[in-house]
Chain A
Amino acid sequence: MKYLDEYRDPATAKKLVAAIASITTQPWNIMEVCGGQTHSIIKYGIDQLLPEAINLIHGPGCPVCVTPLEYIDKALAITQLPEVIFCSFGDMLRVPGSHHDLLGLKAQGADIRIVYSPMESLTIAQQHPDKQVVFFGVGFETTAPATALLAYQAKQLALKNFSLLVCHVRVPPVMEALLNSPNNQVQGFLGAGHVCSIMGYHEYLPLAAQFKMPIVITGFEPVDILQGIYLCIKQLEEGRFEVENEYRRVVKEQGNLPAQQLMQTVFDIVDRPWRGLGNIAASGLALTAEYNDWNAEQRFSVANINTQEPAECRSGQVLQGLIKPAQCPEFGSRCTPEHPLGATMVSSEGACAAYFRYRRYQNV
């Protein structure tokens, strides 16, 4: 398959592994920001191919994992109201809220639909004028433009039976928060390639300069990731701290300008709590006041749901790279993909779920 096979080529991967080994002279901690990268790393065993000196820390870039419990509870509350059709991306359905998950409510008869494209929910609203159709907009800057377009069109069409529960998050503030943490272990980043395809990478230039931190915008295939690691190690070994773009076939410096403009029209930048990481300033996107009529939190009076999350799982430490998933005492025993204690065990992009699926048996 073009653009895939050549980036999964074992011979190319082997050459890169050798090149990485040849330039690595000391231990380095590199964080891959995006959950898609984590999934690839564990699936292809990239971390096992690397020199022992290189430690990969699995970052907070899984949208399912970091969506705060409060918003899951809001989604569950809205879903249980009469005459509501609740539309969501598939992998949000298994995320546990305080008392239920969406799959469980669906089993009890709630009308919950998996959509592949957010625009499908608009069609559903037009087909069901007697129902209230709600779209759950979660994810990073990659999925935010689609939600923005949806809100924009709903306003243009003056749709009365459609609203959005928006909990989008931004990548640069969480990277900054991780670097500001006294526990920080990260010495270089593999930047999230698809986020940068929308936002470009100029946002990362001040971060690299302020924290003297190499940031390599990286794709998702094995060869991409190895190339990203190579560039990052090379910078670290040479004492440079620049923003480099490994994912040139997709990412341009300025990103996708029409998408960015649409997001600015529809969203305000707000503070947002992250599951496992706490509140992070300016890390969220919320509908502007102009879109209040399409804001599900206003329409259904769930804005005051303010869930206090019980301290149970250690996903916060996993997301900061302080422990590996298997070091959590609950991993694979009380916490499994069937009954996740925390969201990092839910999505296939969550570090705990990836370890559970591919690494549960250490001695194979």
Chain B
Amino acid sequence: MSDLELNCPLPLQYEQIVMAHGGGGRLMQQLLDSIIQPVFNNPILNQKHDSAVVNINGSKIALTTDSYVVKPLFFPGGDIGKLAVCGTLNDLAMSGAKPLYLTCSLIIEEGFPIAELKRIVESMQQTAAQAGVLIVTGDTKVVDNGKGDGVFINTAGIGIITDNVDVKPGNIQVGDSIILNSDLARHGIAVMLEREGLKFEHHIESDCANLSGIVQELIQAGVEIHCMRDLTRGGLASGLIELATTSRHHIEVTESALPIHQDVNSACEILGFDPLYIANEGAFVLFVPESQTAQCLAILRRHPLGEQAIQIGQVKSTHAQGMVTLQTAMGISRVLDLLSGEQLPRIC
């Protein structure tokens, strides 16, 4: 070994889409920034918000769309139908909009049981009714056996934003408190344990929930919300990194404040996952002026989806613009960075 061989291959550039391009990490960001965004390039798209906000005849309308490809279709705490409604409602809610109407587009694989399809659309209707929105149009396509994964659902939604509400990444200000409504990483772990048939003794259910109600309560109480983001694919870390990058601010998060259910933590430990990068479907962060922190927390905590609400960090005025740092319990600060793609289970 005295004669060192320095051995490594040339880097790979993917010519095809790999799964990591959809993982909510750096590869997905590269795909959006290099292939999608330059082609569709326009000022509304470039706001990089969960919903597009457009002005039609003096009304501020929020518009969004999302596709749902979850496997398994039914999981503890929800199913693809509930997810497809909540996900799009939440994207509207995050722009401060009150959701009004949804669309539903189904891509169904040949051979899929009609009874299961019925369960899924009934779940969609139930979730929409509870949220007070209507599913008003849709589309159905069937693809060959083996060319789909049971059912894929696309939903789009519109909502209306009242005049005095202006919620977007560009409004984040130095000194803002960062508030989280609930514990982290339950959806991703619940779905993965179910999909992989991992038999832990656990009681982990997806946090899949419609956030538009709790958001409307904050808005009606007059809380001055600068920005919101639901923490879906890529989890808390990826959501905050996107906001820090877009707003060019330094976001500092306090590790010891982050609520994570013990069973979720255990599963993450066993699989080698970082819960900060695991998907949520009912967790969101809010940026509010420091002076409104207490009021905002009080309102959140009165709502079932905000009982665990807590301040997790603050926007800092430092040179570290566009970054998220974590104050660890050990008393050091480290950078939270986008992962390449989805987390892969570690060997040991």
Decide if B20 is an interface residue (CB 8 Å cutoff). Answer: yes
Question: CB < 8 Å: which of B7, B9, B340 contacts A316?
Answer: B7
Give the Cβ gap from A94 to chain B, nearest Cβ, in Å: 7
User: A26: shortest Cβ distance to chain B, in Å?
Assistant: 25
Any chain B CB within 8 A of the CB of A127? no
A100 touches B334 (CB 8 A): no
Q: Does A157 contact B (CB under 8 A)?
A: no
Which residues from A are CB-within-8-Å of B323?
Answer: 361, 364
B12-48: which have CB < 8 Å to A? 12-14, 16-20, 26-27, 30
Residue of B nearest to A194 (CB): B348
Can you list the 8 inter-chain pairs with the closest CB atoms, starting with the nearest? A90-B344, A313-B8, A45-B332, A309-B7, A342-B8, A339-B11, A90-B345, A89-B347
Pairwise interchain contact B335-A91, C-beta atoms closer than 8 A: no
A-B contacts at CB below 8 angstroms, number = 190
The segment out of A201-209, A256-264, A271-279, A294-302 that lies at the interface is A271-279
Q: Does B320 contact A (CB under 8 A)?
A: yes
Q: At the interface, yes or no: B198 with Cβ under 8 Å from chain A?
A: yes
With CB as the reference atom, state the residue of chain A lying closest to B3: A278
- The reply to whether the CB of A108 lies closer than 8 angstroms to some CB of chain B is yes
Asked whether, in the complex, the Cβ of A340 is within 8 Å of the Cβ of B11, the reply is yes
Of listed A43, A278, A338, A356, residue having the most chain B CB within 10 A: A338
Residues of A within 8 A of B138 (CB): none
Chain A residues near B265 (CB-CB < 8 A): 1, 4
Known A-B contacts A107-B18, A116-B198, A194-B348; the reply to A275 vs B269 at CB < 8 A is: no
Report the nearest A residue to B345, measured CB to CB.
A90
From known contacts A45-B330, A309-B8, A360-B335, infer whether A139 and B348 are also in contact, taking CB-CB under 8 Å. Answer: yes
A–B pairs, 17, beta carbons within 8 Å:
A1-B265, A4-B269, A44-B330, A103-B19, A114-B344, A139-B347, A181-B1, A181-B2, A278-B4, A278-B5, A310-B7, A311-B5, A311-B7, A315-B8, A342-B7, A349-B346, A357-B339
A313 to B53, CA, bound (A): 47
Does B319 make an interface contact (CB < 8 A)?
yes
In the assembly, what is the distance between CA of A142 and CA of B347, in Å?
9
Contact of A98 among B6, B9, B335 (CB under 8 A): B9
- Beta-carbon contact of A182 and B2 below 8 Å: yes
A128 interface hit (Cβ, 8 Å): no
- Cα of A14 to Cα of B328 in the assembled complex, Å: 13
- Whether B347 contacts A64 by the Cβ 8 Å rule is yes
Answer whether residue A18 sits at the interface, using C-beta atoms and an 8 A cutoff: no
Which A residues between 317 and 345 are near B, CB-CB below 8 angstroms?
317, 320, 334-335, 337-343
Is the CB–CB distance between B19 and A107 below 8 Å? Answer: yes
CB <8 Å contact, B12 and A104: yes
Interface, chain B (partner A; CB < 8 A): 1-14, 16-20, 26-27, 30, 196, 198, 262, 265-266, 269, 271-272, 319-320, 323, 325, 328-335, 337, 339-340, 344-348
Q: Complex formed: what's the CA distance from A59 to B10 in Å?
A: 23
- Inter-chain CA distance A14–B330, complex, in Å, is 8
Q: Apart from A91-B347, A94-B344, list 4 A-B contacts with CB within 8 A.
A: A69-B8, A90-B347, A107-B17, A276-B7
**Contact check: which of B12, B196, B330, B337 meets A13 at CB < 8 Å?**
B330
Which of B17, B196, B266, B346 counts the most A-chain CB atoms under 10 A from its CB? B346
CB atoms of B348 and A103 under 8 A apart: no
Give the contacting residue for B345; candidates A46, A114, A343; CB below 8 A: A114
Cβ-defined contact, B344 with A317, below 8 A: no
Q: By the criterion CB–CB under 8 Å, are A1 and B266 in contact? A: yes
Q: A63-B348, A278-B1, A334-B11 are in contact. Are A313 and B328 (CB under 8 A)?
A: no
Nearest residue, chain A, Cβ from B329: A10
Contact residues in A for B16 (Cβ distance below 8 Å):
104, 107-108
Question: How many Å lie between the Cα of A182 and that of B320 in the bound state?
Answer: 42
Let me know if A103 and B18 touch, CB within 8 A. Answer: yes
Q: Which residues of B contact A138 (CB under 8 A)?
A: 347
A311 → B minimal CB distance (Å):
5
* List of A residues within 8 angstroms of B3 by Cβ: 278
Residues of A contacting B196 in the complex (Cβ-Cβ under 8 angstroms): 116
Most buried by A among B8, B198, B330: B8
Interface centre among B4, B27, B196, B332 (most CB of A within 10 A): B4
Contact across chains for A357 and B337 when beta carbons are under 8 A apart: yes
Complex interface: chain B residues within 8 A of A14 (CB): 331
Cα-based distance from A323 to B166 in the complex (angstroms): 50
**A142 contacts B330, CB within 8 Å?**
no
Interface string of A161-186 (1 = CB under 8 A from B): 00000000000000001101111000
In contact, A364 and B6 (Cβ under 8 angstroms): no
**B6 engages A360 (CB within 8 Å):** no
Q: Which of B10, B11, B271, B323 has the most CB of A within 10 A?
A: B11
Give the distance in Å from the alpha carbon of A364 to the alpha carbon of B8 in the complex.
31
Shortest Cβ gap from A128 to chain B (Å): 16
Distance from A175 Cβ to chain B, minimum over Cβ atoms (Å)? 12
CA of A174 to CA of B344, assembled, Å:
27
Q: Is the CB of A8 closer than 8 A to any CB of chain B? A: yes
Among B4, B337, B340, B348, which residue has its beta carbon within 8 angstroms of that of A317?
B4
Bound CA span A205–B332, Å: 36
CA A320 to CA B2, docked complex, whole Å: 11
Check B12 against A358 for contact (C-beta < 8 Å). no
Contact residues in B for A104 (Cβ distance below 8 Å): 12, 14, 16, 18
Residues of A within 8 A of B2 (CB): 181-183
Q: Which residues of B contact A58 (CB under 8 A)?
A: none
Query: Within the assembled complex, what's the spacing in Å between the Cα atoms of A181 and B3?
Result: 9
